[in-house]
Amino acid sequence: MIVVTGATGQLGRLIVENLITRVPADRVAVSVRDVQKAQDLAARGVRVRRGDFAEPASLAHAFEGASQVFMVSSNARATGGDTLAQHRAAIDAARSAGARRIVYTSHMAASRSSAFPPMLDHAATEQLLSESGLAWTSLRNGFYASSAVFLLAKGLQTGVFEAPADGKVSWTTHADLAEAAAVILTNEGRYDGPTPPLTASQALDFGALCELASGILGRPLHRSTVPEDEMRAKLTASGMPAPAVAISLGLYRASRDGEFAAVNPTLRELLGRAPTGMREVLAEKLGRAA
C-alpha cells in the first residue's frame, strides 16, 4: 500500500493520477484533510482517509497498512506555523504504521545555510528522516514553474515586472515532478536518501522569462529591478504576513546566490523524455501557441 499525503493539492493529486496508471488503485491510499475533495478518487478504488499533519492522532488511521508513505512537505512556515513539528508527526506516524520507506518532497536547494527560508525546513526534515530508522528518499525537486507564472501575473497586466535582482532558476513543472515521483514510488529503492536535482533542462532568470512572455504575447513585458527594501515595503503594505514576505524576498536572494541554477539530467532519465520547458508553460498559460 502506497499512502500519498496532500492528495488534493496540485502535486499530490497528479502523483495519485500517475500511480493508478502503474499499480492497481486498491494499492493506493490518500491522506487528506477534507475527504469530500477526494471522493472522485474513492470512486476509482483509491482508499481515502482523513489525515492532517497538524493533528497527529489522525495520521494513525490514515497511514494504516502503508508500505510507503509519500510525504508532501507542509507550507506551515508561510503562515507562521511549525513545519518541522508537522513533519516529525508524519514521520512518527509512518514508523508506527509499519511503513518501510518515506518518500519526501524536498527541494534542489535544501540546505541549512540557504537564503530561502523553506530550504532550512527541507534540510532539517532530511535530518529527521535520516534519524528515523526507516528507509527514505528525498526528492530534490526543481523550483515549481507555476511559481514563476504566479509571480509574473501582475506584470503581465501592467507590462512591467517589478522585483529585486535575481539569478537563474531551473523552473520545473508539477506534472513532470509528479510523473517522476510515481516512477520512484513504483521502483522502491531506486534512490536512497536525496536524489540528484530533479530539474528541467534550462535555468532562466526573470529577465529571460519576460523576453519569452513578450515573444508569446507580441507585446513587451519589461523587467524592472527594484531595491529589496522597496519590495519589502510594498509586500508588507499589501497585507502579506511577515513570514511570507521573508520567503518571497528570500527567493530572489537565493537565486542571486545560484541556489536554484543547477540543471541535471536525472528528471529526463526518469521521464524518458525532455522535461517541459518554460516556453511551453508560458505559451499554455498565456493561451497562445509557442
Segment 150-203, tens digit of pLDDT: 999 999 999 999 999 999 999 999 999 999 999 999 999 889 999 999 999 999
**Percent share of the chain, pLDDT over 90:** 92
pTM, to two decimals:
0.94
Q: How many residues does the chain have?
A: 290
Give percent above pLDDT 70 in the chain. Answer: 99
How confident is the model over 210-228, as a mean pLDDT? 95
Closest CA to 136 of 75, 209, 189: 189
**Res. 290: pLDDT tops 60:** no
> Does residue 289 carry a pLDDT above 60?
no
**91 with 58: CB under 8 angstroms?**
no
Looking up cell 500517475 gives 18
Packing angle between helix 278-285 and helix 145-158, nearest 10 degrees?
50
Contact yes or no for 31/51 (Cβ under 8 A): yes
**Does the pLDDT at position 79 exceed 80?**
no
Average pLDDT along the chain: 95
Residue 160 to residue 154: CA distance in whole angstroms: 8
Q: Is the pLDDT of residue 145 over 90?
A: yes
Rounded to 5 degrees, φ, ψ at 108 are -55, -25
SS (H, E, C) 194-230: ECCCECCCCCECHHHHHHHHHHHHCCCCEEEECCHHH
The full DSSP string for 56-111 is GGGHHHHTTT-SEEEEPPP-GGGGT--HHHHHHHHHHHHHHTT-SEEEEE--TT--
- Name the residue with cell 493539492: 9
Q: 288: pLDDT confidence band, cut at 50, 70 and 90?
A: low
Distance CA 185, CA 190 (A): 9
The interaxial angle of helices 206-217 and 278-285, nearest 10 deg, is 50
Q: What is the largest CA-CA distance in the chain?
A: 57
Taking residues 255-264, what's their average pLDDT?
97
Q: What's the whole-number mean pLDDT along residues 227-251?
A: 94
Q: Are 135 and 144 in contact (CB under 8 A)?
A: no
81: pLDDT confidence band, cut at 50, 70 and 90?
A: confident
